[in-house]
Structure 1
């Protein structure tokens, strides 16, 4: 499979429009036409990851953290980053990252973290983007209404909650006069026609609007398709950092044991009150200190994240919010097996996947 097809798969899951303005991520190194039979998944790229990629004879590395984050002034073998990029290019390995877009995406990093910790009824902790919705109205002869409705639903239109292919249909009379140079499906040139038509209304997300409309036009019998598009104030899918949700009432110490078990941790750090029972939990994979106030406003009993600094922990304590620092790496590594399953499912297992599950910044407790 070509590298660009795998990249398109990842971009469909974690679309580039979700990339935060400060971030730099996506397709960063290599040839999009490269034939890929084997992929290595890792949170980061370093020399150890590259060594494994060469040993396993992979053609592509997919990571969460971007290898090129800040602008580069040069690529030489005299620096660690320069040598790494140089060697990746020399080995003809494609590099793709999904960073903040995978943090925000549905079933991305934060959903994976919430799911593994059995947190239910989740929603974003800090909203970044809300998918705009549009009403698409298509006018079609009654004979073609069924096929148009099917195409609309198959292209992602008509989703309301857990229901798909939702439309509203009105029967009416359409009038038109085909002029010279037209090829009317119904009627004759320069003669006013009355035709029984179906008005099909459905809801479409902005990301699907153009493709949906193009597919409808392809199979619509009229050479000039009549349609209307209306912007809506209805709320579309909401994307944001972190998740807030509920757990079955549990003593705090038992929640700590669950975190250690599920994330395979020997230890973690707790800041604040470690007594009482927990019912509402917030999480954010990676570095989530900037969302401490959001967790407090949402009424979280506990906030689980990584990279908590001293003054951030002090601020949380002042708010009465207990913080569990489970580490940057350990709160994000949960996404790797999910990426593997996603790629294999959508490529019918035609791509071999290797996981690199070691932290690029290991530590030892003495």
Structure 2
């Protein structure tokens, strides 16, 4: 079955929902048609003309990028200028561009989790909360013959997560009754006859944000014409989403040792360090991209060192005066999430036949001499 752009978008937004993006962020489909077929996908941090040329060469007609290709308001579309030439090439070659930015920064297993994982940080938590997920309980009644099928379907759609445990459900045997009226086509029983069926009551936890996709998966897996199910709101705190992460190093180390570890982990030729290289650090705050303005939040959460990009002179002075050391590996380290995006897309059954490739173009405008 042909894969369309809306299928690719659905997979990305189930992982990194639009609701996680900061206000006015430029995300989503920026160029193209959601109904267009997906022949191949190229993953990139930035959409440059070199990246577009690479997509054309490899036969990919979709680009999934982290940074918006349309960021500032357009004043013109002159093709004798770099921006106009880029947009013209995208349109001429029927290339479609989808952006996941701050929603991917905040998403579980997104940019900041990947950056923490590369450093081996433990006990990580959100640094700047932007949303608390609203919990609900899903209860569905299933004939015994299809219980396992429905359980797996709803859990694979995102239900049943409690902390780091997945597929959390409770199941109880019972008897269901129903009487198929005129116009029905029952999976079990006959019209006009009261039926009693051995059924399983399946209970699991979902968040309101994934409710629709879980219900869709349940309905597709359930054999009944009209599955019986209930949704209950839960007065319990859900998982917190947000920007940045704070975590612990496996052991204390000197700042300069962490700087060298970061260079190797993030595959960068150099970085900027603010503070005494001999100082021991253990609690680390990480925010991919440009996060200098958030150093007070890192300090308030007890971080010894804050890792972020695009630090300016005065922010570095202020943070140092406040007792916080800093490491600036640059903005471009966000490219480390591209392999994770590729993994997510390749693992999804809806996209399994679509070629997915990470760009080989280095879009980092800075070089160390």
Secondary structure class of the residue paired with 1:213? helix
Q: 1:319 aligns with which of 312, 318, 322?
A: 322
Report the equivalent of 1:207.
209
Is the partner of 1:343 in helix, strand or coil?
helix
Aligned with residue 266 of structure 2, among 244, 259, 263: 263
CA contact (8 A) 2:135 2:207 kept: yes
**1:353 is the counterpart of 2:357:** yes
Q: Relative to 1, partners in 2 of residues 1:9 and 1:138: Cα closer, same or farther, differing over 3 Å?
A: closer
Q: Tell me how far 1:59 sits from its aligned partner.
A: 2.4
Aligned pairs (5 A) from 1:97-246: 97-139=99-141, 148-170=150-172, 199-217=201-219, 225-246=227-248
The 5 A counterparts of 1:17-166 are: 17-139=19-141, 148-166=150-168
Q: How many correspondences in the alignment?
A: 363
Alpha-carbon distance in 1 for matches of 2:147, 2:342? 40
User: Which secondary structure state, in structure 2, belongs to the residue aligned with residue 337 of structure 1?
Assistant: helix
Asked if structure 2 preserves the Cα contact closer than 8 Å seen for 1:39 and 1:60, the reply is yes
- The Cα shift of 1:244 comes to 0.8
Return the offset for 1:181.
Answer: 6.9
Alpha-carbon distance between aligned partners in 2 of 1:38 and 1:181, rounded to the nearest angstrom: 45
**Deviations 1:330-349 (Å, cap 9, x if unpaired)?**
x3121223333333444447
**Local SS of the residue matching 1:131:** strand
Identify if the C-alpha distance between structure 1 residues 323 and 195 changes in structure 2 by more than 3 Å, giving closer, same or farther. same
SS in 2 for 1:138: strand
User: Any conservation in 2 of the 1:3–1:60 contact (CA below 8 Å)?
Assistant: no
TM-score, structure 2 as length reference:
0.84
Aligned to 1:362: 366
TM-score (norm 1): 0.84
Counterpart-to-counterpart distance in 2, 1:99 and 1:155: 23
Q: CA deviation at 1:115?
A: 1.3
> Residue 211 of structure 1 aligns to a residue in which SS?
helix
Q: 1:166 to 1:109 in 2, by over 3 A?
A: closer
Change (3 A) 1:97 1:253: same
Q: Gapped runs of 5+ residues in structure 2?
A: none
User: CA separation in 2, counterparts of 1:234 and 1:252?
Assistant: 39
What are the superposed Cα offsets for residues 304-338 of structure 1, whole Å, 9 maximum, x if unpaired? 11111122112212220001111111x31212233
Match in the other structure for 1:343: 345
CA contact (8 A) 2:137 2:231 kept: yes
Unaligned runs of 5+ in 1: none
Could you report, residue by residue, the CA deviation over 1:279-311 in whole angstroms, capped at 9, with x for unpaired residues?
111111110112211110111111011111122
Q: Quick check: which has more Rg, 1 or 2?
A: 1
- Does the 8 Å contact 2:43/2:356 carry over to 1? no
Aligned-residue RMSD, C-alpha: 3.2
Distance of aligned partners of 1:146 and 1:74 in 2 relative to their CA distance in 1, 3 Å threshold? same
Q: Which residue of 1 aligns with 2:302?
A: 299
User: Is 1:282–2:285 an aligned residue pair?
Assistant: yes
Contact 1:3 1:94 in 2 (8 A): no
Shift of 1:258: 0.9
SS at match of 2:235: coil
The answer on whether the counterparts of 1:246 and 1:280 sit within 8 Å (CA) in structure 2 is: yes
The 1:292–1:195 alpha-carbon spacing in structure 2 relative to 1, beyond 3 Å, is same
